[in-house]
Amino acid sequence: MKVSSISAAALAVLVSATLGCGADRIAFPSDRTLSPGVPAFGAVDQNESSTYTWHINNTVTEASNGDRIRLIGTGPLGIHPKSASGGGTFQHTNAAGTVIGSGGWTVVELLSFQSYGSSPLFPATFNGVGGKAQLRVRLTPTGTTLVLEGIMDIECRLPGLDVPGGTVEGVRLVVPGVANFNTPVSGSTLFRKIS
């Protein structure tokens, strides 16, 4: 598969004319400063090797023009050394709810991760933690040879945790040339600490 930018003809295959809103169109970042949210710097497990799994359970996120993307996925994540993989499926709908694209997505790179720790409201045997991961991802719409690159933030806010201001449970996804899905609507996310 060839990674390419969206041409006008290919864009028509993936999205409808409702994506014409200028506020949702962005250029692909030349560095890692453009993201759906503030990057997570560092991790609670400073200088310690740790492994986690990340989970996105039927999460819906909306762009300012009303388009929505539904995401499902799971995979491993590690710090010291920094790594992530996995993926899932997506479904892109316009403001009217019409499906305009669907397919699979994969994690290419872990950009950052910050654990918020475990919730005091859960038993010690529950290995779930709150946190934020920022990932570089590739989306492959079904029925096309397109490969779209994006930046995804996965944020988990467990009850009872003291988390940074502005932390919202859900996923944010920037797909340059397509949309900035930056308002989590529904669904849940979770990080599980493995080691």
pLDDT tens figures, 157-180: 999 888 878 788 999 999 999 999
Contact in structure between 118 and 90 (CB atoms under 8 Å) = no
DSSP label at residue 143: T
State residue 161's pLDDT score. Answer: 84
Gap between the terminal Cα atoms of the chain: 35
State residue 71's pLDDT score. Answer: 99
| Separation of alpha carbons 124 and 87, rounded Å | 28
State residue 54's pLDDT score. Answer: 98
Q: Is residue 26 part of a domain?
A: no
Q: Which amino acid is it at 155?
A: E
Q: Is residue 30 part of a domain?
A: no
Q: Is residue 24 part of a domain?
A: no
State residue 164's pLDDT score. Answer: 79
State residue 7's pLDDT score. Answer: 31
DSSP label at residue 7: P
The model carries a pTM of 0.76
Domain count across the chain: 1
State residue 37's pLDDT score. Answer: 54
User: Sign of the C-alpha dihedral, residues 158, 160, 161, 163?
Assistant: positive
State residue 165's pLDDT score. Answer: 80
| Separation of alpha carbons 78 and 32, rounded Å | 19
State residue 14's pLDDT score. Answer: 31
Q: Is residue 95 part of a domain?
A: yes
Q: Is residue 103 part of a domain?
A: yes
Range of the domain at 166: 8-15+39-193
Ranges of residues in the chain whose predicted pLDDT is under 50? 1-35, 38-45
